[in-house]
Amino acid sequence: MTILVTGGAGFIGGNFVLDWLARHDEKLVNLDALTYAGNLETLQTVARHPQHVFVRGDIGDRDGVAALLRQHRPRAVVNFAAESHVDRSIHGPADFIQTNIVGTFNLLECVREYWSGLDGEERAAFRFLHVSTDEVYGTLQAGDAPFAETHRYEPNSPYSASKAASDHLVRAWHHTYGLPVLTTNCSNNYGPYHFPEKLIPLVILNALAGKPLPIYGDGRQVRDWLYVKDHCGAIRRVLEAGVPGETYNVGGWNEKTNLEVVHAICAILDRTRPRADGLGYREQIQFVADRPGHDRRYAIDAGKLERELGWRPEETFDSGIAKTVEWYLANPEWIEHVSSGSYRDWLNKQYG
Ligand code: NAD
Ligand code: DAU
């Protein structure tokens, strides 16, 4: 038995691959284009794992994906591969359209062809799991009910619009062709191996480096935060027991303003790595220009996943953020290596 994972050298995909190989004997083929966000160092401990096959390639490469499916004959495909950073999608949406929409379309077509050729039991058991985001639902006001799976799609950024488009393609491939698809829509993840251009790792690393902690606008935007290992558990559960054609929201029941998140990180660092001058890390907070079209609030109702498949997150925000800060303190090499020239170019472009 084999599963094919795309985007398995990224943040969530990488955590998923590591968790999967630690729990299963099943072979995992990992297809990743190794964009700026893909990092083989995340997979260093499984580089020679007998059940892990890493293939550098693009989900938009039709011949490459078709050949991989023919060669490895997976029982499931889990699609993490995407351009995932909202700010980058504002500076340059083209890659998002290409990978998230055209790439997903290509992957669906290759998988449909492969799945059509399976027989009997294999065909019935096959699953295509598409990993998506809560951002497709748009924004909430304070006091609105959290997003349920039935909430209408109202994406507001090039990133979320491209993910919404991919979700619609996945849905259509089920309704039109019968492809057994599952879609998960998850809130903000955090944890080990998070590329340091997203809020939580950026703040941890800037704090330690004595740099400003940039807060967009008034910092009162709300996100729901889920520890990445909990997301991996939810995906495994949906893959195992989800009903084809269904979508499942995944969330941590942890709504926080961005300021609360940054304050929590500062408080942990004040205890574990106090500043030499005796001041708190909050001193480094700097309010900067807001993100254009910045969604005010995301909140996820993950009740369906709990009721139907019995999944709940294990980490609280306090336990998850403590583990995360600890991981970044313990892994300076990983950080140094991802903080390459291209990463520094991005920081200059975004923050000046
Ligand atoms: P990431 O940017 O860290 O990783 C994406 C990975 O995909 C990278 O390894 C990259 O090299 C690879 N990739 C990009 N384009 C590719 C292509 N054309 N072909 C093959 N590989 C390609 O992203 P992430 O944060 O790990 O997110 C993974 C998935 O989860 C995405 O689909 C994202 O939309 C979704 N998601 C992310 C979050 C979050 O908080 N990070 C929350 C909900 C959903
Ligand atoms: O909600 C799920 C989404 O979460 C995923 O689909 C995306 O792939 C993932 O990147 C994440 O998107 P966000 O835009 O919410 O994550 P980010 O870490 O970029 O920002 C989190 C919040 O912090 C957001 O309100 C913007 C704010 N922010 C971010 C950065 C990088 C700041 O205030 N300052 C910053 O420097």
Yes or no: say if 292 and 93 are a contact pair by the CB < 8 Å rule: no
- Domain contains 232: yes
Confidence of residue 352 (pLDDT cuts 50, 70, 90): confident
Yes or no: say if 222 and 255 are a contact pair by the CB < 8 Å rule: yes
Judge if pTM exceeds 0.85.
yes
Confidence of residue 256 (pLDDT cuts 50, 70, 90): very high
Q: Give the bridge partners for 143, in sequence order.
A: none
| Residue range 260-315, pLDDT digits in tens | 999 999 999 999 999 999 999 999 999 999 999 999 999 999 999 999 999 999 99
Please report the pLDDT score of residue 149 as a whole number.
98
Cα-to-centroid distance, 172 and ligand 2 (Å)? 29
- Domain contains 92: yes
| Residue range 332-350, pLDDT digits in tens | 999 988 887 777 777 788 8
Helix H or strand E segment including 18:
helix 11-23
Please give the tally of structural domains in the chain: 1
| Residue range 225-236, pLDDT digits in tens | 999 999 999 999
- Domain contains 293: no
Please report the pLDDT score of residue 345 as a whole number.
79
Please report the pLDDT score of residue 182 as a whole number.
99
Distance of CA 186 to the CA centre of its chain: 8
Q: Could you tell me the CATH number of the domain that includes residue 233?
A: 3.40.50.720
| CB of 135 shorter than 6 A to ligand 2 | yes
- Domain contains 16: yes
Range of 87's domain? 2-193+228-253+298-315+341-351
- Active-site residue among 137, 159, 193, 281? 159
Mutate which of 16, 65, 80, 305 for ligand 1 pocket (most atoms within 8 A of beta carbon): 80
- Domain contains 328: no
Higher pLDDT, 351 or 101: 101
- Domain contains 266: no
Closest ligand to Cα 193: 1
- DSSP-based helix, strand, coil % in the chain, nearest 5: 50, 15, 35
- Domain contains 94: yes
Please report the pLDDT score of residue 343 as a whole number.
74
Mutate which of 254, 258, 321 for ligand 2 pocket (most atoms within 8 A of beta carbon): 258
Q: Rg of the chain over CA atoms, in angstroms?
A: 20
pLDDT at 160 over 80: yes
Helix (H, G, I), strand (E, B) or coil at 56: strand
Average pLDDT, the chain: 97
Backbone region of residue 217 per phi and psi (left: phi > 0; alpha: psi in -120 to 50; beta: other values):
left
Q: Please confirm, yes or no, whether 135 is among the known catalytic residues.
A: yes
Q: Please confirm, yes or no, whether 134 is among the known catalytic residues.
A: yes
Please report the pLDDT score of residue 347 as a whole number.
78
Among 82, 80, 84, 77, CA closest to 110: 77
Cα-to-centroid distance, 11 and ligand 1 (Å)? 7
| Residue range 179-212, pLDDT digits in tens | 999 999 999 999 999 999 999 999 999 999 999 9
Q: Please confirm, yes or no, whether 193 is among the known catalytic residues.
A: no
CB atoms within 10 A of CB 16: 26
The residue-averaged pLDDT of 71-80 equals 98
- Domain contains 82: yes
Q: What is the DSSP string of 126-172?
A: -EEEEEEEGGGG----TTSPPBPTTSPP---SHHHHHHHHHHHHHHH
Please report the pLDDT score of residue 325 as a whole number.
98
